[in-house]
Structure 1
C-alpha cells in the first residue's frame, strides 16, 4: 500500500479541496491509503468515513504568508509539522501539501534531514513527461553560489535517472550560449560542471530550450526558476483563454495542460518524498498533486536519489 500524508490546510481554496481530492484518489487507487492533517472548523463538513482514509485534527496552521522564524520549528501541532513527522517516522511514504513553500523547505530540512552535508534541497518541476525533462530550482533557494547550483544539477540528473530511462543531459540557464555571457556565479558554475565526470554537462541553455532541445535538466537559481515557471503557466492560461471555443486549438492546449505536466513540484535532497502543489490549486490540480506523490512513492524516489548521490 502507498501511504499518503496530506496537509489539508495550505491551499487558497481551503481544506475542502484536499478532502474532495482524497476521496477521488481513493476511488481510483485501491492500493492507496490517505491520512489527512486538518484544522477543525465547525462549519466544515468532513469527508464520509472510508476504510482507507484517516483524519488527524491539529491545533495549529502555518499560513502562506508567514516568515521563517525560529518559533516555526516549535510549532509541532501544525498540520505541516505533523505530516512531515509522519514521513520521518516512516508511517507515510509521501507528503503532499499546498502550503507555505519556505516553511515546507525549512521544516523538511529540520524534520527529515538532508541527504548529505552542503547539498541543498531543491524544488524540481517536470516541464515535459515524455521524454522527461525538468527545471531545478523553483524557489527553495534564492541566493545560490556555484557549489549550490552544481548540487542542483546532480539532484536533477538523479531525478531523471530514477523516474525514466533517459540519460541526464544538464544545461545551465543563461542569457546566451556564448562563454562570455552571464554573471560571475554562472560562469564559475559552468566551469565546475564542465569538470565533472557525472552528470553529463551540455553547457549553457537559453530560455528557448526549456521545453525542447537536447538538454533535459535545466539548472537555475530559485528566483529565476520561480519566475520562469509562473511566466510559463501564465502564458499557457492566457493562450487557453484566448483560444477558448476555437475547434481543435483550445482542446490541444487543454490536453497539454492535463496530460503533459504533473501538478506540483517535488522537493529533492531531503530524506523523504515530498510534493508541493500550487497554493491556487483547484480540485483537478489537487488530484494531480496527490497522483504525483503516489508516483514518486512507488518509485521510492528519495531512496533512489540517495543511492545515486551518497553511495
Structure 2
C-alpha cells in the first residue's frame, strides 16, 4: 500500500449496516498500518460498536457524524435531493473535497450511482460510469466483468467505452499489457445479437486500445477465454448474481452431504486442505467490491448483504484502486483517443 491512504466508509448502508461495517473497519486498520478510515454514520451507533471491539479510541478510525441514512427502498432521485446529510452523501463529499481518496458503500446501488455521478462528475469524454468486478475462472487469474448494473441499457459507444475502461482496470490488476476483451452475447457468431452490440464489436475491432477477441457466451465466462467481458448492466447484474447463487448452492449441497454420512465426514477431514482451497476460490465474499469506474474519483460498491469479511474485501479493493491510480489512467487514455480523433474522422464521441 501507499505510505498514507484514507478511505471514507458509508457505515450505515446495506442489509447489515454497522453490524458488518464496524468489524470490517477495525480489521482493516489492524491489518493495514498505513490505512486511515473515515467512518460516516450515526455517531452513537458507531461509538457503541467500536467500544464493544475495544477500538473506540483507535487513532486511525475517525467518526464523521451523519444524521441521515439512505435506505434500500429509497428512490435514487429522492435520495439525491433529500439525503444530503446521509452517510452515503457525506462519504462521497469527503472524496470530492480531497479528505478521502476513495469511498466504500454497501448501500442502495441506484442512489450511490446517482449521488456519485452528481458529486464527483464524469471524467472527460466518458458517457456513463460502469460497475466492474472480478469473478473466478478455470485459470489462476479472474475475469473482469462490466457493467454489473449501473446502466440497464447501453448503446454501442457506451459498450465501447466500457471495453477501454475494463482493459485499463484488468491490465493494472492482472499486470497484463493487452488484456483480452470479449463482448457477452447470445452466440459467438458475428450474425448474433442486436445492432447495438454488433456496432460495438466493430468499434472495438477498430481501436488499438482494446485487444478485442470477439463475442463470448455465458458458458465462456469461467473458461479464461477473456480477461474482460463487456455487457449491458441488466445482463451483467443477472450473470453475476447467478454466479454467486451457483457457488452458494454448490457449497450448501456439499455441506449437507457431509452431514448426512459419516464416511463422507471422514473423507472430508482427509481432504480438508483441498476443500479449504476450493472454498476460498469460489467464496463470493473475496470478490466483493465492484468499482464504479469513469468518475473523477474512486467509489467501490459492496454487496448489500456483505458480511464483515466481504466488507473488508471491498475496503481493500478501494485501497488497490487508489494505488493503481485508475481514474488518472482512464483519463489519460481517453485524452489520447480524443486527440487522435481531432486529426482523423472517427465515430468516437459523436
Do they fold alike, i.e. is TM over 0.5?
yes
- 8 A contact 2:186–2:193 mirrored in 1: yes
Which of the numbers 239, 249, 253 marks the counterpart of 1:238? 249
Unmatched 5+ residue regions in structure 1?
A: none
Matches within 5 A, 1:3-152: 3-40=6-43, 45-47=48-50, 48-69=56-77, 72-128=80-136, 130-152=140-162
Query: What is the aligned partner in structure 1 of residue 289 from structure 2?
Result: 264
Quote how far apart the aligned CAs of 1:85 are.
0.6
**Larger Rg: 1 or 2?**
2
Quote how far apart the aligned CAs of 1:276 are.
0.5
Task: Give the Cα–Cα distance (whole angstroms) in 2 for the partners of residues 172 and 210 of structure 1.
Answer: 11
Task: Give the Cα–Cα distance (whole angstroms) in 2 for the partners of residues 139 and 226 of structure 1.
Answer: 5
- Encode CA deviations 1:187-206: one digit per residue, 9 max, x unaligned: 22222222223212111011
Alignment TM-score, normalising by the size of structure 2: 0.83
- For residue 3 of structure 1, give the secondary structure of its aligned residue in structure 2: strand
Task: Give the Cα–Cα distance (whole angstroms) in 1 for the partners of residues 308 and 126 of structure 2.
Answer: 37
Task: Give the Cα–Cα distance (whole angstroms) in 2 for the partners of residues 43 and 114 of structure 1.
Answer: 32
Which of the numbers 174, 178, 184 marks the counterpart of 2:195? 184
- 8 A contact 2:244–2:284 mirrored in 1: no
Report whether the alignment pairs 1:175 with 2:186.
yes
Task: Give the Cα–Cα distance (whole angstroms) in 1 for the partners of residues 45 and 169 of structure 2.
Answer: 42
Give the structure with the larger helix fraction: 2
Quote how far apart the aligned CAs of 1:293 are.
1.3
- 8 A contact 2:183–2:216 mirrored in 1: yes
- For residue 235 of structure 1, give the secondary structure of its aligned residue in structure 2: helix
Task: Give the Cα–Cα distance (whole angstroms) in 1 for the partners of residues 277 and 65 of structure 2.
Answer: 42
Misfit runs of 4+, over 4 Å: 40-44, 258-261
Quote how far apart the aligned CAs of 1:260 are.
9.6
Question: CA separation of 1:50/1:292 partners in 2, compared to 1, >3 Å: closer, same or farther?
Answer: same
- Encode CA deviations 1:208-241: one digit per residue, 9 max, x unaligned: 2212233211000000000000000000000011
- Encode CA deviations 1:118-170: one digit per residue, 9 max, x unaligned: 42100001124943520000000001111111111111011122323212211
In the alignment of these two chains, the number of paired residues is 311
Question: CA separation of 1:31/1:203 partners in 2, compared to 1, >3 Å: closer, same or farther?
Answer: same
Unmatched 5+ residue regions in structure 2?
A: 51-55, 259-263, 337-350
